[in-house]
């Protein structure tokens, strides 16, 4: 047994090393994809590879508009939940009148971007990975290349642009719905009016709070697009492989969103 | 039916010199030389693992070789950058084994895609050209269907239509008859011959189907273990005295000479025994 331990440690180290190397590789690939995407947006026309508007709008429809019902439902629920919890905890020292500040800042700075980001990662990041994975195993990416069509310009750019536009829109909508749902409960529970609640929210939330939420939303959009594409194009094997990369994409993008969120808050609020 | 063409007088459009490729540390192609003349149908044959698919991927510039030169229409594709390759791609058509039609687009949109990406034709003209090509492959009227609604043979024919939409000088076909019943497969062979006749294309077909190869080929190249065993006309290949070619032609199973020690080592999972 004594001589088994070093090999186990070595094996663990080797796995750690391999994981780090592949992680670094993915980060490098992501950076290349991102810079390539912006290069094609700017220079594509000069090289006869135009980024077309129609696929961007189609993606915006799929990523943004079709997500509206579920975003609305979840945001309303979370707004209500925050108001409930806020009043419950503040009542312990008789400060429930301050609940609006907590709810308004919590929603605009944290909850709306995070929940919407996670939701879109689950809906669209996975769809992106599944599509890229399927296209890779059925030679569709090769077909694009031999047709002289750049896959980054044709497949990556529309999704990236659509996410960059639609995710902030969804987050703004989510903030509105969550604040309204919280307001309905707060106004009833604290016996004020909805109008007073709106005034209090107006006083509590500044432009910089909104920008804090939207700023990280922009980063989330890029993360969801890149993780979906990197995981999707790493597909191996057949249909089972596509299932695996789809799961990976959801897990990785949600992890990336939460982790980036923490870093963003750490860097901007201290 | 094989048309004997005076190919020697025609210009060479595909030239491969001493192509060596690796997959990881494993050598896949080992000094492959190949020449294809304009208007010729060359069939690349070989069993599984012979390197024929790898050779095709290199001809399509989908992989970078370890060494060697691949020249298409007079351009060395191993030395070209991305944009030069994209420009060359407009003169090439590829029908992939599984069709590789984009599953989110209709058949018509799939066939029109190269036109939409590379030309400034108006939509009406593109549609006429698309229907023209669908007529050629006997798929007229199917342009509004999705690829998932087509049978295997129809998908392959739609892929042919997409491959020839730009009237390419070079057409590459990967296993056109794999997985199809004999009738559909014979129809595809006929289609390849018709395309050459009507449009004067140079066609490279990768296949392991003997019947199909003999039917369409002007010349056949036999690959085995990453090397070219022989290149010649159908009759030359048929008459070859090379035992490996004869094995391939007669579908003979090649019995490996049995080494009892190695066999035992394989079974017990040990390395090669020390001798």
**Chain A from 109 to 168: CB within 8 A of any B CB:** 131, 134-135, 138-140, 142-143, 145-150
Highest averaged pLDDT of the listed ranges A10-14, A47-51, A112-116? A112-116
CB contact under 8 A, B97 and A139: yes
Put simply, the chain A residues between 228 and 247 with a CB less than 8 A from any chain B CB are none
Q: Is the pLDDT of residue B1 over 50?
A: no
**Predicted ipTM of the assembly:** 0.84
Dihedral sign, Cα of residue B178, residue B183, residue B186, residue B191? negative
Name the pTM for this structure: 0.85
Which residues in chain B are contacts of A238 at CB distance < 8 A?
A: none
Please report, rounded to a whole number, the percentage of residues in chain A having pLDDT higher than 90.
82
Evaluate if residue A204 carries a pLDDT over 80. yes
**Range A57-90 burial, b when 16+ CB lie within 10 A, else e:** eebbebbbeebeeebbebbbebbbebbbebbeeb
HEC string of chain A equals: CCCHHHHHHHHHHHHHHHHHHHHHHHHHHHHHHHHHHHHHHHHHHHHCCCCCHHHHHHHHHHHCHHHHHHHHHHHHHHHHHHHHHHHHHHHCCCCHHHHHHHHHHHHHHHHHHHHHHHHHHHHHHHHHHHHHHHHHHCCHHHHHHHCCCCHHHHHHHHHHHHHHHHHHHHHHHHHHHHHHHHHHHHHHHCCCCHHHHHHHHHHHCCHHHHHHHHHHHHHHHHHHHHHHHHHHHCCCCCHHHHHHHHHHHHHHHHHHHHHHHHHHHHHHHC
Where exactly are the structural domains of chain B? 9-91+170-175+201-253
What confidence tens digit (pLDDT) does each residue in B83-121 have? 899 999 999 999 998 889 999 899 999 999 999 988 889
For B9-91+170-175+201-253, CATH number out of 3.40.50.300, 1.20.1250.20, 3.40.50.2300, 1.10.287.3240 equals 3.40.50.300
A54 touches chain B (CB under 8 A): no
Q: Which of A58, A242, A23 is nearest to A136 (CA)?
A: A242
Test A49 with B103 for CB contact under 8 angstroms.
Answer: no
Q: Give the three-state DSSP class for B70.
A: strand
Contact check, Cβ <8 Å, B114/A147:
yes
Mean pLDDT of all residues belonging to chain A: 92
CA distance B102 to chain A (A): 6
């Amino acid at each position: 047994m004594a001589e088994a331990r070093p090999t186990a440690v070595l094996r663990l180290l080797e796995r750690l090393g391999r994981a780090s190397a592949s992680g670094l590789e993915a980060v490098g690939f992501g950076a290349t994809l991102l810079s390539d995407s912006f290069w094609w947006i700017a220079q594509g026309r000069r090289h006869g590879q135009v980024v077309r508007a129609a696929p961007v709008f189609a993606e915006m429809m799929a990523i943004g508009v079709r997500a509206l019902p579920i975003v609305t439902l979840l945001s309303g629920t979370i707004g209500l939940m925050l108001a409930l919890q806020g009043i419950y905890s503040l009542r312990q020292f008789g400060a429930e009148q301050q609940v609006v500040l907590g709810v308004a800042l919590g929603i605009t700075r944290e909850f709306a971007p995070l929940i919407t980001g996670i939701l879109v990662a689950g809906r669209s990041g996975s769809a992106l990975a599944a599509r890229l994975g399927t296209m890779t195993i059925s030679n569709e990416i090769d077909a694009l290349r031999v047709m002289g069509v750049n896959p980054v310009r044709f497949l990556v750019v529309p999704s990236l642009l659509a996410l960059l536009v639609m995710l902030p829109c969804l987050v703004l909508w989510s903030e509105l719905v969550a604040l309204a749902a919280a307001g309905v409960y707060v106004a009833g529970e604290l016996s004020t009016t909805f109008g007073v609640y709106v005034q209090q929210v107006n006083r509590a939330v500044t432009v910089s709070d909104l920008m804090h939420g939207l700023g990280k939303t922009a980063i989330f959009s890029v993360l969801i697009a890149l993780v979906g594409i990197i995981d999707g194009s790493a597909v191996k094997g057949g249909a089972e492989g596509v299932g695996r990369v789809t799961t990976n994409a959801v897990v990785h993008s949600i992890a990336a969103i939460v982790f980036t969120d923490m870093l963003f808050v750490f860097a901007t609020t201290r | 039916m094989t048309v004997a063409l005076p190919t020697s007088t025609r210009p060479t459009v595909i030239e491969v010199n001493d192509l060596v490729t690796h997959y990881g540390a494993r050598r896949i192609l080992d000094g492959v030389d190949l020449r294809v003349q304009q208007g010729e149908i060359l069939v690349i044959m070989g069993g599984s693992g012979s390197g024929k698919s790898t050779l095709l991927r290199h001809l399509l510039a989908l992989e970078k070789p370890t060494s060697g030169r691949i020249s298409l229409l007079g351009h060395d594709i191993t030395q070209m950058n991305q944009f030069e390759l994209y420009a060359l791609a407009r003169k090439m058509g590829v029908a992939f084994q599984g069709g590789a039609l984009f599953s989110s687009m209709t058949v018509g949109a799939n066939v029109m895609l190269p036109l939409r990406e590379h030309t400034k034709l108006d939509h009406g003209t593109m549609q006429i050209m698309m229907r023209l090509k669908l007529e050629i492959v006997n798929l007229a009227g199917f342009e509004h269907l999705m690829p998932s609604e087509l049978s295997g043979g129809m998908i392959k024919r739609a892929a042919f239509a997409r491959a020839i939409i730009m009237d390419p000088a070079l057409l590459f076909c990967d296993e056109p008859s794999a997985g199809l019943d004999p009738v559909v497969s014979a129809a595809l062979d006929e289609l390849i011959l018709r395309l050459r006749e009507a449009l004067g294309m140079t066609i490279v077909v990768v296949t392991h189907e003997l019947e199909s190869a003999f039917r369409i080929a002007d010349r056949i190249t036999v690959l085995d273990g990453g090397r070219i065993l022989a290149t010649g006309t159908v009759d030359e290949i048929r008459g070859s005295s090379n035992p490996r070619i004869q094995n391939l032609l007669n579908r003979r199973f090649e019995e490996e000479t049995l080494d009892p020690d190695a066999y035992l080592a394989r079974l017990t999972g040990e390395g090669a025994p020390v001798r």
